[in-house]
Structures are given as structure tokens and as C-alpha cells.
């Protein structure tokens, strides 16, 4: 009797499994077979963080790319096909995904991966295979040092943060500040270093530097200490979760000075979590959906119509990235020649995207201006 | 031939082999019946030692990798001496804690570049091809430089794994191996028989750490980049699951486990977003029906009998 039951259970489990496999096979078929776009379509591989803790970032990127792809294909100057691979935020997975896209799908170029660490691991593979790869969210130092074929349109922290610091120093006449950063996050540490350098360049004195860790929830010790030093402003480098809690705690214990943040501040979630406490938080962003600009308004309305939400920075930068590829493809005049595409990509300049005027410098980093934003009454507004 | 030489497949096979070596490392400690969850920690010690030696001190890779293993092994002796007084779940927790301690230390040291990790690590492949070309062997008919380097890495890894398997099978038949087996079967009885259990447990622990450290060094030179995140708790679980899935009775068990668990996510890529769900479901099913792991002594006996009969007919 027991044996019968086991057999029955096995049958059921395997049956369910087969059904799911068959079901998702059917579900993903249209995405995989989008070659029907035409024989001349340029195949671009995308490696993104589509499942796991950072899946929200990858999802935004995918949405931005899909929107851009539809528009570009509708325009008809070049045809683009996208092949997505999930990296799970894991370095070896990113390497495998890049290898698969290059050697199995024969893509002409790559977009992604989402995280800087993943880029450090998988970028060299693309570079060795001489396939252009463009990071849309890889802001860490040294990404493009990987090689000639590695590009990014993500504004590196080293360029965005100093703009925010400079603006804040001028506006609020900052003389002495305190700093806080998340010491176990590669990206936050890198942001902290740029911030410290920018403060030094602007002749601002740092009274104290306090650290915390990702996923920390209690910041009272650090903030009490900082509060007693009476700084003119507090600089924070961390992801939005911790940043929001820092803001909340700071306002609670009576710190009213402005906060300047790295890119982690640049999320609507910051305001959602911190609420009123988020006021006077300053951040430099390549992306500001409220800007008066025809292109941006159109992108925001189209994106809203399609996904029913305001595009974030990840979506905007990916959207621009595909357009940059499209104009490079157009100039290269070939949808399969990787070397030609690289060369025409490197000469891109005066490109008008939703994240502003754009060009690659000689090290394939973006040359672009960031908009310095400040939170007022629960809204990001331009700091002027 | 094209399929075999495809970079993508070569790369997967390379990861399979590195994971198989990690599988052997956990098999080593399991062969004395000790459940150590410190392998990711040892792996990171090996990886960082090796990467720092090659990137910052300019050591040749073939020296740096064994040094990485030795460093891990040395630390394991320091940790192991007090920790191995614990058994079962307590040892597991202690070694798990050790892994986290290593990660946090790495996160805060200057030489390891903290959370930013070490990037720009030279690859094993290019190193080996350079070495070969200095002997006058540069190109193999019709292969690209990348294929050559990947194939060379593959050969080196297969050689290392084969050596480890050979070593372990020989070890099992030696006095040391018998001592390991007796400790696994019953520690008190083994002690009563005059076996120095602390010594043998420590030996197995150090050997496992050495292998894990080497695997760490190898993987650092295969992924170009290492950061503290790569050696967190989930890595330990991954290594342990090779042995759990494949079975830990025989050395072939963790190797098969590593093979399956590394290939599966790649084979399931076509299922896109359902990939990890299917992967999880398969794990659950396998555990429900083969709690002892895929390969046990009985499995080998069964197939030997079956195949033997066929040959006799």
C-alpha cells in the first residue's frame, strides 16, 4: 500500500513538472523566436539580474529595453532583436550567460550585466571575444579598464557624486560635515571614496566618519555621535533601504541639516520609506523624469502607458543604451560585424537621450551632466 | 567538433570541474563523519592568497595556487584544533561561524580591497598559453587563442581532479583511510581501538581545507574577479549540496553532484524565468526519493552486478 502511494506521488510530481516545463516552454517561445523581426535584425544579448534580491533592477532594465526595441523597430532604420539571460546577481552565472550569448546565440553586442561585480567577472570574456559590451548600471571605478570593447552609459559615481557635493557646498555654504557609509557594500564604499575626495577638493572639513552594514536597521549610535559634533551637512553612501532609515532616525533625534547621498538616494523608495524625513536629501542623478524636455515627457508617458509606472533610472539608462547601439549600428552599416560596431560606438557623440546629452570619452565612459535633485515635500525637485 | 569547442560549453565544463574539486574537499571531511561548513571560508582564503600573490606580488600561478591551498590548510589547523572537539551539528555551526568570520575579515582588510574585491586577476588560460609559447608551442592547428587557452585549462583541471580521485581512492585503502572510516562509523569505538581520533580528524580537516583553498585559487583565476560576496554562506550550502545530492559514501558521489548542480541551471536556461523553480523542484524530488544521495555503495554494487551479468551472458 505504501509503495503504491509513493509511486502515485512520484507520478504526480513528474506530471506537474512536465506540465510546468511545457507551459513555460510555450510562454517563453515568442521571446526566443523573435527572429521573425527580419533576417537583417541585429541580435543584442542582454544579461540582467532578473531573479533574486535585485530582480527589481533587472526588471526595470528589461522594460526600458523592450520599450526602446519596439520604438526602434517601428522606426525601421535598424532592426534589433534582444536575447535575455538571467545572471541572478552571481558572477559565475554572468560569465556563463555572456558566454552563451556570444558563442551560442552569436549576438553582435551585449548590454549588461546589472552589477559592477558581474561586469568585472564577465566583461573580460566579452572583451577577449571582441564583442562590444555596454553596462547600463555599472557605476564602479575601473569598469572600462577591462578593455577596448567595454563601454558604459551608466554615469560613474566619480562623475555624479562630485557634482552633487559641489552644488550642496555652494548652496548651503558647507564648512564641516560628517560622513556615513555602508562598509560591506562594494558600491557604497566606492561612492564613499569619491565623496571624500570631492569634499577635500571643495575644502570641506570632515568631522567624523561612521560606518554601518547593509541590512542594518539601527543607526542611533552613529547619529548621536554625529549630532553632538553639529555638522553643516551629513554625507551618506549606501543603498536606499539603509539611507531611508538613516534619514528617519536623524530627523527623529533632531538633526535638521541637509543630507547628501550617492546614487542609492536616487530612488522613489527612499521617499516612500522615509516619508517626511526624506526632505532636504540631495543627490545627483543622470535621470530626472520631471525635467521639461519633449523627449523625456514622451518616454515617461509611453512607459507609463505600457507598464503603468514612472520609469526609474535603470529603465531610462537601458532605454538610452539601446538607442545608442541603434545609432552605432546605423553608422556601422552592418548588423553582424562586431569590430565595426565597436569602432562606430566609440565615436558616438552629441547623442540626445532621455538622460541628457551623451558622448563616450576616450576611455569609453559617458560624458554627461547630472541633474542635482533635492527632496522637497516628498518629491524630487531640481536643486537650482 | 564545433560544439565541443564552443566557448560556452568549455566554460561550463571548467566550472563543473572546479566545483567537482570543491566536492572532493567536502568529501574529505565527510569521510571522517565530520560535517564542516567552513569550506567556503577556506576557499576564500585560498582564492585571496592566490590572487594577492599573483596580482600584487607577481608570483607565477602554478606556485600561487598551492600556496593558497597551504594557507587555507594552515588556518584550518588553527581553527580545527579547538573546533574538532565539537561534533555533529555543533561543529557545523562553529565552522559556519568561521566562514562568516573570514568573510568579515576580508571585507575589512586593506590588502583584500574590502568590499570592492580584487579585479583584473590574470586568467589561468592566458598564463598557461604564455608558458607554453615560451617553450615554443603557441598555436594548435585551427584553434583560436581563446579555445586553446580554455582547452589547456580543461586539461589542467582534469589532471588535478584525476589526481585527487586517485589520491582519495588510494587513501581509502591505506591505514589513514581505514582510520577515517572507523571514526565515521563510531568515534568512541575507534578511540577505544587506539586510534588517535583528534589527529585523524584534524588531518581530514586540513586536507579538505587544502583542496578547497586550491579550488578557490583556481576559481579566482577563472572568474577574473573575486569579492567577499562570492564566498558567503550560500557558497557553503552549494558545496554541501554537491555531497548531499551526489552522496558522500564514495568520492564519485560529490563529483556527480557537482556535475549535475552546475549543469542543471545552464540546461534549464531555455525555461527562462521558471528555471530556478524547476531547479528547486528537482532538488526536492531527488531528496524525497534518494535521501542518501544519488550514488551510494549499494548503487555501485547494483550496477556492477547488473553489468557483470550482461557481460557474462
pLDDT band at A2 (very low <50, low <70, confident <90, very high): very low
In angstroms, the CA B289 to CA B285 distance is: 6
* Domain containing residue A267: CATH number: 3.40.50.2300
On the 0-12 / 13-18 / 19+ scale of CB atoms within 10 A, B312 is: exposed
- Mean pLDDT for B189-198 is 92
Does residue A187 sit within a domain?
A: yes
Is pLDDT at A32 greater than 80 in this prediction? Answer: no
Residues of B contacting chain A (CB within 8 angstroms): 6-8, 11-12, 15, 104, 107-108, 114-117, 119-120, 123, 146, 223-225, 227-230, 265-266, 269-278, 281-282, 285, 289
| Interface contact B115-A186, CB threshold 8 A | yes
Is pLDDT at A36 greater than 50 in this prediction? Answer: no
pLDDT digits (tens, 9 = 90+) for B213-245: 999 999 999 988 998 888 888 888 889 999 988
Does residue A264 sit within a domain?
A: yes
Q: Does residue A163 sit in the same domain as residue A151?
A: no
Does residue B256 sit within a domain?
A: no
A13 touches chain B (CB under 8 A): yes
Is pLDDT at B37 greater than 60 in this prediction? Answer: yes
Separation in Å, CA of A309 to nearest CA in chain B: 22
CB pairs under 8 A between A and B: 115
pLDDT band at A179 (very low <50, low <70, confident <90, very high): very high
Q: Which positions 98-117 of A are in contact with B (Cβ < 8 Å)?
A: 99-100, 102-104, 117
Does residue B130 sit within a domain?
A: yes
pLDDT digits (tens, 9 = 90+) for B257-272: 999 999 888 888 877 6
Provide ipTM, 2 decimals.
Answer: 0.83
More confident residue, A30 or B300: B300
A228 touches chain B (CB under 8 A): no
Q: Which positions 26-85 of A are in contact with B (Cβ < 8 Å)?
A: 27-28, 31-32, 50-51, 84-85
Placement of cell 560606438 in the chain: A345
Domain carrying residue B219: 2-232
Separation in Å, CA of B87 to nearest CA in chain A: 32
Does residue A21 sit within a domain?
A: no
Domain carrying residue A212: 158-285
Q: What is the pLDDT of residue A4?
A: 52
Is pLDDT at A306 greater than 50 in this prediction? Answer: yes
Does residue B27 sit within a domain?
A: yes
The runs of H, that is alpha helices, within chain B are 2-5, 7-30, 39-55, 61-83, 88-108, 124-134, 145-172, 175-185, 187-192, 197-223, 233-246, 252-267, 275-289, 297-312
Does residue B287 sit within a domain?
A: no
Mean pLDDT lowest for which of A27-31, A263-267, A313-317, A348-352?
A27-31
Is pLDDT at A27 greater than 70 in this prediction? Answer: no
Report the C-alpha dihedral over residues A198, A201, A202, A205, rounded to 10 degrees.
80
Strands A42-48 and A109-111: parallel
Q: Does residue A355 sit in the same domain as residue A334?
A: yes
Does residue B248 sit within a domain?
A: no
Is pLDDT at B175 greater than 50 in this prediction? Answer: yes
Looking at mean pLDDT, say which of A100-114, A146-160, A348-362 comes out highest: A100-114
Q: Does residue A176 sit in the same domain as residue A271?
A: yes
Instruction: Count the domains in chain B.
Output: 1
Which residues, listed in sequence order, are joined to residue A223 by a DSSP beta bridge? none
Does residue B280 sit within a domain?
A: no
**Mutation to test the A interface, candidates B122, B144, B273, most A Cβ within 10 Å:** B273
Does residue A305 sit within a domain?
A: yes
Q: What is the pLDDT of residue B150?
A: 85
Q: Does residue A146 sit in the same domain as residue A179?
A: no
Task: Count CB atoms within 10 A of the CB of residue A365.
Answer: 21
In angstroms, the CA A348 to CA B299 distance is: 62
Does residue A376 sit within a domain?
A: no
Which residues, listed in sequence order, are joined to residue A382 by a DSSP beta bridge? A373
More confident residue, A21 or B143: B143
> What are the distances in angstroms from CA A198 to CA A160, A201, A280?
10, 5, 20
How much is the mean pLDDT over chain A? Answer: 85
Does residue A23 sit within a domain?
A: no
Nearest to A184 among B12, B15, B107 (CB): B107
- Which one, of B56, B196, B271, lies nearest residue A20 by Cα? B271
Does residue B227 sit within a domain?
A: yes
**What is the percent of chain A where pLDDT is above 90?**
49
Interhelix angle A240-252/A220-229, nearest 10 degrees: 60
Q: Does residue A164 sit in the same domain as residue A151?
A: no
Looking at mean pLDDT, say which of A181-195, B40-54, B102-116 comes out highest: B40-54
Q: Does residue A150 sit in the same domain as residue A299?
A: yes
pLDDT band at A30 (very low <50, low <70, confident <90, very high): very low
Separation in Å, CA of A298 to nearest CA in chain B: 30
Q: Does residue A281 sit in the same domain as residue A304?
A: no
Mean pLDDT lowest for which of A14-18, B23-27, B70-74?
A14-18
Does residue B123 sit within a domain?
A: yes
Q: What is the pLDDT of residue A24?
A: 40
Does residue A377 sit within a domain?
A: no
**Residue B227 in 3-state DSSP?**
coil
Q: Does residue A222 sit in the same domain as residue A305?
A: no
In angstroms, the CA A267 to CA A269 distance is: 5
**What pTM does this model have?**
0.81
Q: What is the pLDDT of residue A39?
A: 54
Does residue A63 sit within a domain?
A: yes
- Mean pLDDT for A70-85 is 92
Q: What is the pLDDT of residue B137?
A: 62
Q: Does residue A184 sit in the same domain as residue A281?
A: yes
Is pLDDT at B273 greater than 90 in this prediction? Answer: no
Q: Which positions 318-377 of A are in contact with B (Cβ < 8 Å)?
A: none
- What is the DSSP annotation of A298-312? HHHHHHHHHHSS---
Instruction: Count the domains in chain A.
Output: 2
Amino acid at each position: 500500500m505504501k509503495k503504491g502511494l509513493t509511486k502515485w506521488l512520484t507520478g504526480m510530481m513528474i506530471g506537474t513538472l512536465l506540465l510546468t516545463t511545457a507551459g513555460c516552454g510555450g510562454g517563453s517561445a515568442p521571446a526566443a523566436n523573435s527572429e521573425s523581426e527580419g533576417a537583417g535584425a541585429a541580435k543584442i544579448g542582454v544579461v540582467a539580474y532578473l531573479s533574486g534580491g535585485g530582480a527589481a533592477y533587472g526588471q526595470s532594465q528589461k522594460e526600458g529595453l523592450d520599450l526602446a526595441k519596439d520604438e526602434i523597430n517601428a522606426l525601421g532604420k535598424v532592426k534589433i532583436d534582444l536575447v535575455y539571460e538571467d545572471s541572478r546577481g552571481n558572477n559565475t552565472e554572468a560569465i556563463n550567460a555572456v558566454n552563451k550569448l556570444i558563442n551560442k546565440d552569436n549576438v553582435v553586442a551585449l548590454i549588461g550585466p546589472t552589477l559592477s561585480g558581474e561586469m568585472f567577472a564577465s566583461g573580460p570574456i566579452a572583451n577577449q571575444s571582441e564583442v562590444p559590451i555596454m553596462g547600463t548600471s555599472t557605476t564602479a571605478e575601473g569598469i572600462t579598464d577591462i578593455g577596448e570593447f567595454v563601454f558604459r552609459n551608466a554615469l560613474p559615481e566619480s562623475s555624479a557624486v562630485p557634482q552633487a557635493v559641489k552644488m550642496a557646498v555652494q548652496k548651503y555654504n558647507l564648512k564641516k560635515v560628517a560622513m556615513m557609509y555602508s562598509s560591506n557594500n562594494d558600491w557604497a564604499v566606492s561612492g564613499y571614496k569619491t565623496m571624500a575626495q570631492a569634499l577635500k577638493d571643495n575644502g570641506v572639513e570632515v568631522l567624523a566618519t561612521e560606518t554601518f552594514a547593509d541590512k542594518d536597521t539601527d543607526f542611533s549610535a552613529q547619529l548621536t555621535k554625529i549630532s553632538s559634533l553639529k555638522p553643516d551637512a551629513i554625507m551618506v553612501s549606501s543603498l536606499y533601504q539603509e539611507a531611508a532609515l538613516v534619514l528617519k532616525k536623524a530627523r527623529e533625534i533632531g538633526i535638521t541639516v541637509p543630507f547628501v547621498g550617492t546614487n542609492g538616494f536616487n530612488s522613489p523608495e527612499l521617499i516612500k520609506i522615509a516619508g517626511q524625513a526624506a526632505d532636504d536629501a540631495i543627490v545627483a542623478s543622470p535621470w530626472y523624469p520631471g525635467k521639461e524636455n519633449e523627449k523625456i515627457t514622451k518616454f515617461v508617458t509611453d512607459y507609463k502607458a505600457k507598464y503603468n509606472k514612472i520609469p526609474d533610472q535603470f529603465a531610462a539608462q537601458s532605454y538610452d543604451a539601446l538607442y545608442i547601439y541603434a545609432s552605432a549600428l546605423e553608422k556601422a552599416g552592418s548588423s553582424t560585424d562586431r569590430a565595426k560596431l565597436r569602432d562606430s560606438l566609440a565615436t558616438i557623440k552629441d547623442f540626445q537621450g532621455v538622460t541628457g546629452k551623451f558622448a563616450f570619452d576616450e576611455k569609453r565612459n559617458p560624458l554627461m551632466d547630472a541633474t542635482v535633485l533635492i527632496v522637497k515635500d516628498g518629491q524630487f525637485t531640481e536643486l537650482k | 567538433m564545433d560544439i565541443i569547442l564552443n566557448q560556452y560549453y568549455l566554460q561550463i565544463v571548467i566550472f563543473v570541474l572546479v566545483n567537482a574539486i570543491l566536492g572532493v574537499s567536502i568529501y574529505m571531511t565527510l569521510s571522517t563523519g565530520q560535517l564542516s561548513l567552513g569550506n567556503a571560508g577556506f576557499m576564500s582564503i585560498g582564492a585571496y592568497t592566490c590572487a594577492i600573490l599573483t596580482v600584487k606580488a607577481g608570483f607565477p600561478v602554478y606556485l600561487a595556487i598551492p600556496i593558497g591551498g597551504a594557507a587555507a590548510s594552515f588556518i584550518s589547523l588553527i581553527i580545527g584544533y579547538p573546533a574538532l572537539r565539537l561534533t555533529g551539528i555543533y561543529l557545523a555551526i562553529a565552522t559556519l561561524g568561521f566562514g562568516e568570520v573570514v568573510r568579515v575579515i576580508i571585507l575589512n582588510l586593506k590588502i583584500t580591497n574590502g568590499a570592492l574585491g580584487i579585479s583584473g586577476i590574470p586568467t589561468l588560460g592566458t598564463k598557461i598559453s604564455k608558458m607554453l609559447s615560451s617553450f615554443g608551442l603557441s598555436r594548435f592547428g585551427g584553434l583560436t587563442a581563446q579555445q586553446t587557452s580554455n582547452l589547456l585549462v580543461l586539461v589542467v583541471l582534469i589532471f588535478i581532479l584525476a589526481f585527487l580521485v586517485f589520491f582519495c581512492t588510494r587513501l581509502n585503502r591505506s591505514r589513514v583511510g581505514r582510520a577515517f572510516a572507523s571514526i565515521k562509523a563510531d568515534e568512541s569505538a575507534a578511540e577505544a581501538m587506539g586510534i588517535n581520533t583528534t589527529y585523524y580528524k584534524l588531518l581530514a580537516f586540513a586536507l579538505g581545507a587544502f583542496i578547497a583553498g586550491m579550488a578557490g585559487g583556481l576559481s579566482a583565476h577563472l572568474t577574473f574577479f573575486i569579492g567577499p560576496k562570492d564566498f558567503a554562506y550560500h557558497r557553503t550550502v552549494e558545496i554541501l549540496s554537491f555531497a548531499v545530492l551526489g552522496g558522500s559514501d564514495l568520492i564519485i558521489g560529490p563529483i556527480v553532484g557537482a556535475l549535475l548542480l552546475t549543469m542543471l541551471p545552464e540546461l534549464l536556461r531555455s525555461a527562462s524565468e521558471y528555471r530556478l523553480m524547476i531547479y528547486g523542484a528537482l532538488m526536492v524530488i531527488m531528496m524525497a526519493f534518494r535521501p542518501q544521495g544519488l550514488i551510494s555503495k549499494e548503487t555501485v554494487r547494483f550496477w556492477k552486478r547488473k553489468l557483470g551479468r550482461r557481460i557474462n551472458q
